[in-house]
Amino acid sequence: MTAAIPWRQNRLIQDRIKRTIAYTIVFIMAAAYIFPLYWLIVTALKTDIEIFQQPPPIFPPNPQWHNFGESTTYIPFWRYMWNTIAISGLTVLGTVLSCTFIAYGFARIQWPGRNFIFLIYLSTIMLPSQVTLIPLYLIFRDLGWVGTFLPLVVPHFFGSALYVFLLRQFLLTIPQELSDAARIDGASELGILWHVMIPLMRPALAVVALFTFVQTYRDFLGPLIYLQNQQDWTISLGLKLFQNMYGAQWQLMMAASTLAMLPTIVLFFFTQKTFVRGIALTGLKG
Amino acid sequence: MTITFRRPRLTKRQRRSLIIGLLFISPAIIGFFMFNIGPIIQSLQYSFTRYNILQPPRYVGLNNYRFLLEDRVFKIGIQNTLYMVLIGLPIHLVFNMLMALLLNTKIRGLSIYRSIFYVPSITPVVASTIVWLWIFNGQFGILNEFLRFIGLSPIGWLTDPKWVKPSLIFMGAWFGGNTILIYLAGLQDVPHDLLESAELDGANAVQKTFKITLPMISPVIFYTIIVNVIGYFQYFTEAWVMTATRDGAAGGVANSAMFYSMYLYQTAFQQFKMGYASAQAWILFMIVLVATVILFRTAGWVYYHAEN
């Protein structure tokens, strides 16, 4: 028994050393993760001379705050922002709407062959989008949709297997008695979905909406293929293609990039809990 | 679906619920045929044709596939993509797991760290790649400035064919913080009593990690492997933005950053060889299919505990 005391102390010291090492590594890594964002903002605040100074000033002596304003006229920033938000908003609407119905059909109604069909549907998650890219482009072209938002938005009104899966998992946890009680009261399936399920599904729907928004907001390949008129571009297209066309005004590009990041970052800080819950949900599906 | 209809003995109630069920999932059925199965089949058909959009597709048999076998850029694209899947991805996942294990040590300020690691992964790829372009810049970039400062010679991070893929992997780690959080969520679900009883049995930290923690979250690891393997076969935006030149070409010096999807995009939407690009798309489909089958077949290490 007496020997246990020094062993204990020894262990406490070891624990403390380990913890200090862990803290230090995490702190350094966190600094490394922040640095590019810091460098983005700092570069946005430099003059066009300071940009090319060697060694580069770690913080500009006279921050050029007006660069932010200028960057919104260097590219048609607000126009692109509006396009991006419009496309993302419609995509969120389509995804949430369609996935709610589909998930309800897969989770709350017993019909023969349900699980088998769900498995087939789920396998589409693993289909690389490049495989269907060309035929879809040709179909949308025949429809006269290329050059509009439609090819980017309309497919989302027909569900997305990943989010159907997520909502289905959530719906399966709701006790069957709730549905049965409503059915005895004569409620239709639509009525149950609307009055009973949707109020309970809100946290899961928020996850789907947020993830869809961020995903669409970040997209580059879709808009690159379908948006051909310069006034329809999203912010990602605008940032890249303007740089190609007029050469990089680095400080203005950085300012515009900073502004382009703000919506998702602000959204994250206001809805952090939803994001964290969503991440836990997506990881759980193994 | 036809199977369920052919089954003879459905009661009236079952038939009713079948119809209602199918009605609810009808957007998925339509989407499945219109945006998945239909295009997959069409893409196979186009892959046997020469099609430049202006003239109708012309059947050329297996020519596209034959040309692909001798296409040097296509081969480089496959090699570079495999480089990312086989080297970049394991590096990312191991790194992300180490970070998650560190964050799981009841660290103070966890929610702040969580935000710091997560935020880069939700920034628009193009916007954050622009700052990385500047960080990697050969002449004025801060990385080379640092190398000069400690007395090393600068590196052509994006211009040296040897360095461009490692640079992309380096940048990719910064975008991958969501995997850290997925792992962390898994780690926090590992039952404490298991770890405690192992400790009482005299297991050290390394043993606990390899014998208990990692097996317990192996389903999560498996999920991230599947998702990221499929994701890396479609690797496009980062490399495109990093290497695109003013005339719309991309792929870096000597195609050192030419990835599968980039070549496919160029073939289809810059050279308008829809048939040739469709053949590439189908080969990609096959590769990803084989890769997922292999992953699922070798998933014996994935441990599902009783509750699941």
Domain residue limits, chain B: 2-36, 65-301
Inform me whether the C-beta atom of residue A270 falls under 8 Å from chain B C-beta atoms.
no
Same domain, A14 and A150: no
* Integer CA distances (angstroms), B88 to A87, A147, B80, B81, B167, in order: 32, 36, 10, 10, 10
- At A4 the pLDDT is 53
Tell me what the mean pLDDT of segment B160-175 comes to.
95
Residue A258 domain-assigned (yes or no): no
pTM for the structure as a whole = 0.91
Per CB-CB distance under 8 Å, the chain A contacts of B145 are 54-56
Domain that holds residue A130: 76-247
* Position with higher pLDDT, B247 vs B161: B161
Residue type, B242: M
**With an 8 Å Cβ cutoff, are A22 and B27 in contact?**
no
Distance from CA of B100 to the nearest CA of A (A): 10
The pLDDT of residue B308 is: 40
Query: Among partner residues A22, A137, A244, which is closest to B102 by beta-carbon distance?
Result: A22
Query: How many domains would you assign to chain A?
Result: 2
What was the pLDDT predicted at A191? 93
What is the pLDDT, as a whole number, of residue A286? 42
Cβ–Cβ of B284/A131 closer than 8 Å? yes
Map residue B248 onto helix, strand or coil: coil
Asked whether the beta carbons of residue A37 and residue B131 sit closer than 8 angstroms, the reply is: yes
Please give the Cα distance from A212 to A162 (Å, whole number): 11
Instruction: Please indicate, yes or no, whether residues A102 and A243 belong to a single structural domain of this protein.
Output: yes
Q: What share of chain A is helix, strand, coil (3-state, %, to 5)?
A: 80, 0, 20
- Are A243 and B42 a contacting pair at CB < 8 A? no
Residues A91 and A214 both lie in one domain: yes
* pLDDT higher than threshold 50 for residue B83: yes
For position B3, what pLDDT does the model report? 52
Whether B21 shows a pLDDT value over 70: the answer reads: yes
Is 60 exceeded by the pLDDT of residue A122?
yes
CB A239 within 8 A of CB B130: yes
Given an 8 Å threshold on Cβ–Cβ distance, is B126 in contact with A155? Answer: no
A214 contact B CB<8A: yes
Sequence letter at residue B92: H
The pLDDT score that the predictor gives to residue A51 is: 86
Give the torsion sign (CA, A115, A117, A121, A127). positive
pLDDT, tens digit (0-9, with 9 covering 90-100), for A225-253: 999 899 999 999 999 876 766 666 888 99
- Asked if residue B189 has pLDDT above 60, the reply is yes
Q: CA torsion sign, B256 to B260 to B261 to B262?
A: positive
Helical segments of chain B, H only: 2-6, 12-24, 26-31, 38-46, 63-70, 72-83, 89-103, 110-118, 125-136, 142-149, 164-175, 177-188, 192-200, 205-208, 214-216, 218-233, 237-243, 260-265, 274-297
Closest partner CB to B174 (pick from A23, A36, A141): A36
Q: A61: which DSSP letter? A: S
Q: pLDDT at position B252, please?
A: 87
Q: Which three-class secondary structure string do you get for B4-68?
A: HHHCCCCCHHHHHHHHHHHHHCHHHHHHHHHHHHHHHHHHHHHCCEECCCCCCCEECCCHHHHHH
C-beta of residue B43 within 8 angstroms of C-beta of residue B281: yes
Write the CA distances from B154 to B145, B161, B162, integer angstroms.
8, 15, 14
Query: What residues contact B226, with CB distance under 8 A and at least 6 apart?
Result: A126, B292, B295
Evaluate whether B86 touches B93 at the Cβ level (below 8 Å): no
Asked if the model's pLDDT at residue B6 lies above 80, the reply is no
A4 close contact with B: CB closer than 8 A: no
**pLDDT over 60 (residue B13):** yes
Segment 80-99 of chain A within 8 Å of chain B by CB: 98
Q: Is residue A75 within 8 Å of A239, Cβ to Cβ?
A: yes
Decide if pLDDT at B7 tops 60.
Answer: no
Is some CB atom of chain B closer than 8 A to the CB atom of A206?
no
Instruction: Select the residue of A134, A225, A282 nearest B46 (Cβ to Cβ).
Output: A134
Give the Cα separation of B282 and A23 in Å (integer): 48
What per-residue confidence (pLDDT) applies to A1? 47
Give me the pLDDT at residue B28, please. Answer: 97
In this structure, is residue A282 part of a structural domain? no
Judged by a CB distance cut-off of 8 A, whether residue A198 touches chain B is no
Size of interface A-B (CB pairs under 8 A): 285
Same domain, A126 and A63: no
pLDDT of residue B50: 96
Residue B174, pLDDT score: 95
Tens of pLDDT, residue by residue over B251-282, are: 888 899 999 999 999 999 999 999 999 999 99
Q: Look at the alpha carbons of B223, B225, B231, B237 in this order and tell me if their dihedral is positive or negative.
A: positive
CA B116 to CA B113: how far, in whole Å?
5
Res B194: pLDDT: 85
pLDDT per position as a tens digit, A132-165? 999 999 999 999 999 999 999 999 999 999 999 9
Helix (H, G, I), strand (E, B) or coil at B143: helix
- Classify domain B65-301 by CATH number: 1.10.3720.10
What is the average pLDDT across B96-118?
A: 91
C-alpha span between A222 and A239 (Å, rounded): 15
* CA gap A137, A145 in Å, rounded: 9
Contact residues on chain A for B274, CB-CB shorter than 8 A = 134, 138
Q: Would you tell me which residues 173-192 of chain A have a C-beta closer than 8 angstroms to some C-beta of chain B? A: 189
Instruction: Kindly report, residue by residue over A108-120, the tens digit of the pLDDT.
Output: 999 999 999 999 9
Final residue of a structural domain among A19, A39, A67: A67
Query: pLDDT per residue over A33-82, tens digit each?
Result: 999 999 999 999 998 888 888 788 888 888 999 999 988 888 899 999 99
DSSP class of residue A57 equals P
Which of A26, A34, A240 shows the shortest C-beta gap to B244?
A: A240
Structure confidence by residue, pLDDT tens digits, B32-68: 999 999 999 999 999 999 999 889 999 999 999 999 9
> Among residues A35, A67, A99, which one ends one of the domains?
A67
β partners of residue B58: B50
A10 and A37 in a single domain? The answer is yes
Q: What are the start-end ranges of the E strands in A76-190?
A: none
Q: How far apart are CA A246 and CA A73, in angstroms?
A: 13
B224 and A283 within 8 Å at the Cβ level: the answer is yes
Tokens of A174: 């709701």
Cβ of B246 within 8 Å of Cβ of A55? The answer is no
A88 and A223 share one domain: yes
Q: Which residue of chain B has the CA closest to A32?
A: B174
Predicted confidence at residue B5, as pLDDT, reads 52
CA–CA gap between residue A59 and residue A5 (Å, rounded): 52
Q: Does A213 touch chain B (CB under 8 A)?
A: no
Q: Are residues A124 and A32 both part of a single domain?
A: no
Q: What is the ipTM metric for this complex?
A: 0.90
Instruction: State how far the Cα of B294 lies from the Cα of B290, in Å rounded to an integer.
Output: 6
> Which whole number is the average pLDDT over B222-239?
94
Cβ–Cβ contact A38 with B under 8 A: no
Contact A261 B7 (CB under 8 A): no
Q: Which chain B residues are within 8 Å of A264, Cβ to Cβ?
A: 122-124
Predicted pLDDT at B184: 93
| Chain A residue with Cα closest to B27 | A158
- Nearest Cβ partner of A131 from B7, B177, B285? B285
Share of chain B above pLDDT 90, in %: 71
Instruction: Give the pLDDT confidence score for residue A52 in this predicted structure.
Output: 87
Task: Work out whether the CA dihedral A225, B225, B299, B82 comes out positive or negative.
Answer: positive
Same domain, A39 and A127: no
pLDDT category at B8 given cuts 50, 70, 90 is: low
Judge: A236–B124 Cβ closer than 8 Å, yes or no. Answer: yes
Q: Alpha-carbon distance B26 to A158, whole Å?
A: 8
A57 sits in the region (left: phi over 0; alpha: psi -120 to 50; else beta) called beta
CATH number at residue A196: 1.10.3720.10
d(CA A108, CA B35): 25
For chain B, say whether A61 makes contact (Cβ under 8 Å). Answer: no
Residue B2 in this model has a pLDDT that exceeds 70: no
Q: Do the Cβ atoms of A264 and B122 come within 8 Å? A: yes
Residues with Cβ within 8 Å of residue B96, at least 6 apart in sequence: B173, B176, B177, B179, B180, B183, B224
Measured between its terminal Cα atoms, the distance across chain A in Å is: 46
- Measured between CB atoms, does A56 come within 8 Å of chain B? yes
Predicted confidence band at A131 (pLDDT cuts at 50, 70, 90)? very high
